[in-house]
Amino acid sequence: MGIFILPCSRALATPLSLDDAIAMALKNHLDIKIADLESERAQAFIHDAKSLFDVTLSSTANWTHDQDKPASTLSGRKTQTGVFNIGLSKKIPLGTKLGVSIENTYKDSDSSVASKPTYWDPKFKISATQELLKNSFGTSDRKERRAADLFQEASLTHGRDLKENVISEISKLYWTFVAHNDIQEIQKQALDRAQKLYEANLKKIKLGTIEKTDLLASQASVLARKADLLSAQDAFHSIHEDLKRSLKVPLETSFEPKNELVFTPKKMDAELVITRALTQNKTYHTTLKELRANELKLKIAKNNFLPEFNLEGSIAFNGLAKEFESAWSDVSHMDFPTYYYGVTLSYPLGEHASQRTYLRQWVETEKAHLTLEKLKDDLRYTIRQEIRTLDSQAQKVGHLFEVQKLLYEKMKEEEKKFNQGRSSINFVIQFQEDHLQSSKELIFEKLSYQKALIDLKRRQGALIETL
């Protein structure tokens, strides 16, 4: 019965470090692509707010050919009117809407009493409208812009949160990959140890120094180690496939871990970690910025109950002549001004629309406020729990290091005694099993500690900086 060796499918495996895995994930992971879309979505908020202050170009052109039956024979049978207007308007941050326009009217009539049957009537006009109540001096517009900035920041922070979540998942998956590779190696060592014991017993049975039952026991131990190795290799293969799928690499790609699963216990102050989490946690700050944006939107909705009361004013210069050039010459000399001043008041007698908008915004604001408070409580509670768990796990790993060391010495001493004929095969096999199980337990506890540490860094919002 020779040493059992499984076929090696990783001869050409590429060494993979944690940094390499994270870099590949940030490049290929689908959640990263979603995070990038958050950046695009964030920009939409700014475009929406800036649209309030866009320059608007407006123009009209129409032609009327009037041959209605006239009320008087002096009115003429035909009147033709052409209108050609163009203008620009823009709202500025103070809520003032400025406008400039050029209006052209052409008229041709066959009336016998018209002093100018054919003429051009161009006009150059500058206007301004100032909002005083509902959007007093642009306060609502500026709040809209600030709310858009906050929504943009929240969206970008959410995108960074998605990226940090990918780093967390890939990091834990990578360390699981490392741990199962270590388990696989430990199982190979255990099989090799059982095989050597069996081969030694084959010689002893020929010399008559052991019983056949001892040989059968060592043979059974070899078979048990083979089964364990197959299970370990299958588990490693599954984790390997999960890692490749997460990194979006071809299935034929083969990796081997470059990092070792080290244990470096960290002592943490819960209050300090909580303070950092409230400063850096991406989910918390996304919700905080959304709350502040919703508070601004609520103020805008409340302001909408006020009536629209606007001051309006304009100055226009016109000209009038048969020839277009002469008419525009009048305009350019500004000899014929028209001044206009006025106020407009608009107030809905029913406030259903304003009430609807206000109530919806109030609900959104309250939900954001409650969500933020819940997140704050969850962060405080969970961080304290996780730090206690980390401290407990660190002590447990420290004890398991000592247990593994003692069991290894115990196993080696028992093997020496067996070779001297002072122990039984059952003790040797049992001590080998004890050492094997303690080694695997140590690896899985180190893995649990590493995962818990990643979760704490993730909750603290500093995973990217501390990895």
Least confident of 96-100, 203-207, 339-343: 203-207
What's the per-residue H, E or C state across the chain?
CCCCCCCCCCCCCEEECHHHHHHHHHHHCHHHHHHHHHHHHHHHHHHHHHHHHCCEEEEEEEEEEECCCCCCCCCCCCEEEEEEEEEEEEECCCCEEEEEEEEEEEEEECCCCCCCCEEEEEEEEEEEEEECCCCHHHHHHHHHHHHHHHHHHHHHHHHHHHHHHHHHHHHHHHHHHHHHHHHHHHHHHHHHHHHHHHHHHHHHHHHCCCCHHHHHHHHHHHHHHHHHHHHHHHHHHHHHHHHHHHHCCCCCCCEEECCCCCCCCCCCCHHHHHHHHHHHCHHHHHHHHHHHHHHHHHHHHHHCCCCEEEEEEEEEEECCECCHHHHHHHHHHCCCEEEEEEEEEECCCCCHHHHHHHHHHHHHHHHHHHHHHHHHHHHHHHHHHHHHHHHHHHHHHHHHHHHHHHHHHHHHHHHHHHHCCCCCHHHHHHHHHHHHHHHHHHHHHHHHHHHHHHHHHHHHCCHHHHC
Least confident of 274-283, 361-370, 418-427: 418-427
Please provide the average confidence, as pLDDT, over all residues in the chain: 88
- Mean pLDDT score, 171-185: 96
Q: 64 vs 97, 109, 123, 142, 258, CA distance in Å?
A: 31, 12, 19, 44, 83
Least confident of 82-96, 105-119, 219-233, 263-277: 105-119
- Tens digits of per-residue pLDDT, 349-403? 877 788 888 999 999 999 999 999 999 999 999 999 999 999 999 999 999 999 9
Whether the CA torsion 267, 272, 274, 278 is positive or negative: it is: negative
For a pLDDT cut of 90, what percent of the chain falls above it? 52
Q: Are strands 255-257 and 14-16 parallel, antiparallel or unpaired?
A: parallel
How far apart, in whole angstroms, are the C-alpha atoms of residue 224 and residue 161? 46
Is 160 or 69 the better-scoring residue by pLDDT? 160
Residue 425, pLDDT score:
87
Residue 1, pLDDT score:
45
- Mean pLDDT score, 165-172: 93
Residue 57, pLDDT score:
94
Residue 70, pLDDT score:
64
Statement: the pTM of the whole predicted model exceeds 0.85: no
Domains and CATH numbers, the chain: 14-48+142-298+359-466 (1.20.1600.10), 58-136+308-349 (no CATH)
Q: Return the ∠ at Cα 458 (arms to 178 and 156), rounded to 5°.
A: 120
